[in-house]
Amino acid sequence: MTLSNQDRKRFLRFAMTLSDRARQILGDRPRGEVEVSLKADGSYVTAADRDIEAVWREAIHKEFPDHGLIGEEYPAEGGGSSWQWVLDPIDGTDNFVHGIMTFGTLVSLRHEGRAVVGVVDHPALDVRFHAAQGAGAWRNGEAVQIIDGPEAASPIIVATAPENFAKAGDTEIFTRLCVEFPNLRIYRDCFAHGCVFQGSAAAMVDWHARLWDISAAEVITHEAGGTTVRLDGPPDRYQVVFGRPAIVSRVVAAVTAHK
């Protein structure tokens, strides 16, 4: 399905209001005031994570009552709908807790399993990327493109934390990436996605991710002219390489040669 111009504007405008609301909630909290607890898997969750997602869900229920949604902090809803909102209220909660400004908020809308709208917002950095099917990709109102060009012998590649590769039993893949791409950078959250969107890095390797981690990046990458490749992994986990087409091919070749 191709979005109509009317639907594109409506869905994107709504997704942007969700990002705005998250910024407001975070801005209303006194600096340094973070209520933290641990999930069963040992990861952080804060009151801000839960508050943002609760507000988002309420807004979706009101505006699009027939849409489904899935988020990091609460159970999925409306599984029978062809439309699904995918929500990550704070991507990089550990960084948020420790005052590292690279955390972000992620909102996307999928139709029949394909991302058609996405927003990656960095409230502390005042940087926002957004895209909608057929409307291009944007950073703070300026168009961005992910395109092949003359590359240095060792292009900059960004990857998620080594522990994510270890959790998937793929430590050797991370080692291989370090050897094949000496200019590898490691970031734990969606800051790495933005590096690719704006051309600072040639490709991103996001390993052992959840749907809410990568859904917004899929549509932004596509609309910016880049390539996304999903590789086989455990159920409900995603091993994704995205970025400049030629570099993505090189990264995928390095990864799959070692699987």
Cβ count within 10 A of residue 41:
6
Instruction: Note the pLDDT of residue 42.
Output: 66
Q: For the domain 157-256, what is the CATH code?
A: 3.40.190.80
Q: Helix (H) and strand (E) counts for the chain?
A: 8, 14
pLDDT of residue 151 exceeding 90, the answer is: no
Least confident of 23-27, 40-44, 78-82, 122-126: 40-44
pLDDT of residue 187 exceeding 70, the answer is: yes
- Whole-angstrom distance, CA of residue 45 vs CA of residue 249: 36
In this predicted model, which residue has the larger pLDDT, 37 or 53?
53
Q: How confident is the model at residue 234 (pLDDT cuts 50, 70, 90)?
A: confident
Task: Give helix 245-256 / helix 171-180 axis angle, nearest 10°.
Answer: 130
- Whole-angstrom distance, CA of residue 201 vs CA of residue 196: 5
Least confident of 38-42, 144-148, 236-240: 38-42
Owner of token pair 């405008």: 13
In the chain, where the domains are located? 5-143, 157-256
Instruction: Note the pLDDT of residue 4.
Output: 85
| Distant-in-sequence, close-in-space partners of 140: CB < 8 Å, separation ≥ 6 | 126, 127, 128
pLDDT of residue 183 exceeding 70, the answer is: yes
CATH architecture of the domain covering 5-143: 2-Layer Sandwich (3.30)
Q: How confident is the model at residue 44 (pLDDT cuts 50, 70, 90)?
A: confident
Instruction: Note the pLDDT of residue 248.
Output: 96
Q: What are the residues facing 2 on neighbouring strands?
A: none
Given a contact cutoff of 8 angstroms between Cβ atoms, the answer to whether 118 and 130 are in contact is yes
Instruction: Note the pLDDT of residue 123.
Output: 95
Instruction: Note the pLDDT of residue 37.
Output: 76
Instruction: Note the pLDDT of residue 31.
Output: 57
Q: What is the pLDDT of residues 84-141, one digit of tens each?
A: 999 999 999 888 988 899 999 999 999 999 999 999 999 999 999 999 999 999 999 9
